[in-house]
Amino acid sequence: MIFSSPDPAGDPYLARAVLSLQRASYAVEADLIGDHRLPPLQEDQHQLAAWRGRWVLAWDGVDLVGAVAWSETESHLEIEKLMIGPAAMRRGIGSALLGRVVACASGRRVLVTTGRDNVPAVSLYRKHGFAHEADVRVPPGIWISRLALAGSA
């Protein structure tokens, strides 16, 4: 596994590859929660490239198999997206990417939201020490769970 930290805004080919991965990954979540109106499935290449934050991408040779994107402030990091290609799921890529984000936290609080009924994602975060904080119903009726890394500031 090779990790890189490019900005998709700087490379249209990379932005297309990340968008393709995002659509495939979030389609799995949409099936799990029973709603295909998830914002990452509505995003286009320009919206993806316009987002300003940090990225780490996971490559298996020349194949993009995973990505994580987060924003950060002085007090916390917020994981915005964690995506794994369906063919690469259950190979530890999500754990490896999550570890990269946590390593950047430097003691700051780490937050994430995911579909409440996305059992694999909730299980991944709990396995890495995240604790459930709240369930929130977001328009138009999608339930999400907010989790925070236990022990983070």
Place of tokens 């805004």: 9
If you ran DSSP here, which 8-state letter would residue 5 be given?
A: -
What's the rounded Cα separation, in Å, for the pair 106 and 103?
7
Q: In this structure, is the dihedral angle defined by the CA atoms of residues 69, 132, 42 and 96, taken in order, positive or negative?
A: positive
Say what the pLDDT of residue 43 is: 93
Instruction: Provide the residue-wise pLDDT of the chain in tens; the chain has 153 residues.
Output: 899 999 899 899 999 999 999 999 999 999 988 888 888 999 999 999 999 999 999 999 999 999 999 999 999 999 999 999 999 999 999 999 999 999 999 889 999 999 898 999 999 999 999 999 999 988 777 889 999 996 554
CATH of domain 2-149: 3.40.630.30
Global pTM exceeds 0.85: yes
Say what the pLDDT of residue 82 is: 97
Q: Any long-range contacts for 88-96 (C-beta under 8 Å, 24+ apart)?
A: 88/60, 89/28, 89/120, 91/65, 93/1, 93/58, 93/65, 93/66, 94/66, 94/124, 95/124, 95/127, 95/128, 96/1, 96/3, 96/58, 96/66
Say what the pLDDT of residue 152 is: 53
